[in-house]
């Protein structure tokens, strides 16, 4: 029985990845804060594919909660595949107008929690000599744009962590992949714009953005490669996007 631990599974890319991996026969651990969403997803996957899901309703910034859970249920942290999808951006204000509490949130979730959860899953993978860690990086880990300093810094950090981890586990059989999307239509922009749905919708107008399912299929492709193949990084953008700032919109 193959298993995947997916963070950020209540929405967007994490949720779509749960669907894509369940369709390929993996059983799941689904982590996010919104338990009702995780429950509904688990029920729909059980019905569609017979997937067994375990639900972890937790804020990934809760280091003590994660440690307690790892002690109480160590098998949760021994998946074949870990997908680190929980993440967010807040605002597009210039740095000089930014909110340090929001910077904390972005860095704590995108960087520190990703590190902590990966750290918890690695010992079992290393003992087994197999396992796959998939990071959700971003084109924001390759380029920087105005008003994106902190989010881009967090995704540059994810890129460095991915490269460093790959070297640290080198020779163990554990694979490390970064999937780095451009514009994907999810709840990401709504969260970034603090609930402003109208402003969020504008991000995706006038061109065809990626869907969460597009990215999930990319992740599933990486995971389904034979054990001797490690896809290191995939940068995937809508055809209408050429760089982090170049998007061809109609009208
Ligand atoms: N959408 C894009 O254009 C895009 C592009 C490149 C990279 N990415 C990256 O892809 C990943 C997924 O983003 P998405 O587009 O799928 O956004 P999304 O639809 O907003 O999903 C974000 C997920 O992260 C979870 N999350 C956020 N804060 C959390 C916390 N403190 N504790 C636990 N879970 C938390 C959310 O769950 P709860 O709110 O239920 O906790 C949700 O499931 C992120 O790392 C993002 O940076 C997105």
Task: State which ligand 1 atom lies nearest to the alpha carbon of 61.
Answer: 31
Model confidence at 244: pLDDT above 80: yes
The reply to whether ligand 1 has any atom less than 6 angstroms from the CB of 88 is yes
What does the mean pLDDT of the chain come to? 98
Q: Does any domain span residue 241?
A: no
Atom of ligand 1 nearest to the CA of 181: 6
Residue 122 domain-assigned? yes
Whether residue 145 is contained in a domain is answered as yes
Q: Is the pLDDT of residue 251 over 90?
A: no
Q: Read off the pLDDT of residues 84-117 as tens digits, 9 standing for 90 and up.
A: 999 999 999 999 999 999 999 999 999 999 999 9
Q: How many whole angstroms separate alpha carbon 74 and alpha carbon 58?
A: 16
Which residues span the domain enclosing 103? Answer: 3-236
Q: Which residues are catalytic?
A: 151
Given the CA of residue 110, which atom of ligand 1 is nearest to it? Answer: 45
> CATH code at 91?
3.40.50.720
Q: What is the pLDDT of residues 21-67, one digit of tens each?
A: 999 999 999 999 999 999 999 999 999 999 999 999 999 999 999 99
Name the closest-CA residue to atom 31, ligand 1. 59
| Ligand 1 center to 84 CA (angstroms) | 9
Residue 119 lies in a domain: yes
**CA of residue 146 to ligand 1 center, whole Å:** 21
What number does the ligand 1 atom closest to the CA of 9 have?
43
Q: For residue 118, tell me if it sits in a domain.
A: yes
Determine the longest span between alpha carbons in the chain, in angstroms.
56
C-alpha span between 141 and 157 (Å, rounded): 8
Tell whether 246 is covered by a domain: no
pLDDT tens digits, 145-177: 999 999 999 999 999 999 999 999 999 999 999
Tell me the average pLDDT across 8-31: 98
Going by pLDDT thresholds of 50, 70 and 90, the confidence category of residue 227 is: very high
Task: Please count the structural domains in the chain.
Answer: 1
**What is the DSSP annotation of 96-158?**
GG--HHHHHHHHIIIIIIHHHHHHHHHHHHHHHT-EEEEEE--GGGT---TT-HHHHHHHHHH
Q: pLDDT at residue 183 above 80? A: yes
Residue 244 within any structural domain of the chain: no
Write down the H helix ranges in 193-246. 197-202, 212-223
| pLDDT > 70 fraction of the chain, expressed in percent and rounded | 100
Count of C-beta atoms within a 10 Å radius of residue 127: 11
Report yes or no on 242 lying in a domain. Answer: no
Q: Whose CA is nearest to atom 12 of ligand 1?
A: 85
The pairing of strands 53-57 and 210-211 is unpaired
* Nearest residue to 11 via CA among 46, 47, 35, 45: 35
Residue ID of nearest Cα to ligand 1 atom 41: 33
Q: Looking at the DSSP assignment, which residues form a beta bridge with residue 241?
A: 247
Contact 16, 213 (CB under 8 A): yes
Q: Does the C-beta of 14 come closer than 6 Å to ligand 1?
A: yes
Residue nearest to atom 36 of ligand 1 (CA): 8
Q: Answer yes or no: is the C-beta of 2 below 6 A from any ligand 1 atom.
A: no
């Amino acid at each position: 029985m193959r298993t995947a631990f997916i963070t950020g599974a209540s929405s967007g890319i994490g949720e779509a990845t749960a669907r894509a991996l369940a369709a390929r026969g993996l059983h799941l651990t689904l982590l996010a804060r919104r338990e009702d969403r995780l429950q509904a997803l688990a029920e729909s996957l059980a019905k569609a594919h017979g997937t067994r899901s375990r639900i972890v309703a937790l804020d990934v910034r809760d280091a003590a909660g994660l440690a307690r859970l790892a002690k109480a249920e160590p098998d949760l942290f021994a998946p074949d595949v870990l997908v680190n999808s929980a993440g967010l951006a807040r605002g597009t204000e210039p740095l000089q107008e930014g909110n340090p509490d929001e910077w904390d949130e972005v860095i704590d979730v995108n960087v520190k929690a990703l590190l902590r959860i990966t750290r918890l899953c690695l010992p079992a993978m290393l003992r087994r000599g197999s396992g796959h860690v998939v990071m959700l990086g971003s084109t924001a880990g390759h380029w920087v744009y105005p008003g994106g300093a902190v989010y881009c810094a967090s995704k540059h950090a994810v890129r460095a962590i991915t490269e460093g981890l790959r070297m640290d586990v080198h020779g163990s059989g554990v694979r490390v992949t970064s999937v780095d999307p451009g514009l994907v239509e999810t709840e990401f922009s709504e969260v970034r714009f603090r609930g402003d749905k109208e402003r969020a919708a504008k991000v995706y107008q006038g061109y065809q953005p990626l869907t969460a399912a597009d990215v999930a299929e990319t992740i599933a492709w990486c995971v389904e490669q034979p054990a001797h193949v490690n896809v290191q990084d995939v940068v995937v953008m809508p055809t209408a996007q050429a760089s982090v700032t170049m998007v061809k919109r109609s009208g």
